[in-house]
Amino acid sequence: MVVLGVDPGITHLGLGVIQVEGGRGALKAFLLHGEVVETSSKEGAANRVGRIYERVRAALEAHAPEALAVEEQYFYRQNELAYKVGWALGAVLVAAHQRGVPVFAYGPMQVKQALVGHGHAPKEAVALAVRGALGLKEAPKPSHLADALAIALTHAFYARLSAAKPL
């Protein structure tokens, strides 16, 4: 199974593609691609969203994932941030739709539970779990890349349990 994980953001959007092999026994996961798409608030909204769309589309075309997993966003008092992250998420959803790739969403606690074993783990523990699961020499950096890979791994975990539900 190939999964594209996305940590959505308008300034920094993490993209991580993994391949997972194995059945009911132990899973082996491999890093296929990782990047952080950066945009600037000095750019117009159309340019920012367009560049995100192009990078997501390129990752989808290059790696042909079976699923795209995004981190659910929770904003309580940050309306402007939520609005702008929505721009990025919209670009991701359109790219997935055009390629016919189903989209799944996982909250931060689900990611921590799947990778570390409890929903209140620190970000550093999640990054170390990603490092271990992918056999990397060090934890992925920056954090947006680590989060994207964690989301992809979380989808592999839930898909294996047949508990994944499309967005």
Copy the structure tokens of residue 101: 């790739």
**144 annotated ligand-binding residue:** yes
Query: Of residues 71, 72, 80, 124, which has the active-site annotation?
Result: 71
Is 7 marked within a binding site?
yes
User: Known catalytic residue: 71?
Assistant: yes
| Whether residue 54 lies in the annotated active site | no
CA atoms within 13 A on the CB side of 156: 31
Q: At what angle do helices 143-160 and 108-116 cross, to 10 degrees?
A: 70
Q: Which of 33, 35, 124, 144 is catalytic?
A: 144
What are residue 14's DSSP bridge partners?
A: 7, 36
Task: Please compute, for residue 64, the number of CA atoms within 13 A of its CA located in the half-sphere on the CB side.
Answer: 0
Clarify whether 72 is annotated catalytic: no
User: What DSSP assignment string belongs to 147-165?
Assistant: HHHHHHHHHHHHHHTT---
Cis peptide before 142 (omega within 30 of 0): yes
The one-letter amino acid at 22: G
CB distance 90 to 6 below 8 Å: no
List, as residue ranges, the binding site.
Answer: 7, 71, 144
List, as residue ranges, the binding site for Mg(2+).
Answer: 7, 71, 144
Catalytic residues: 7, 71, 144
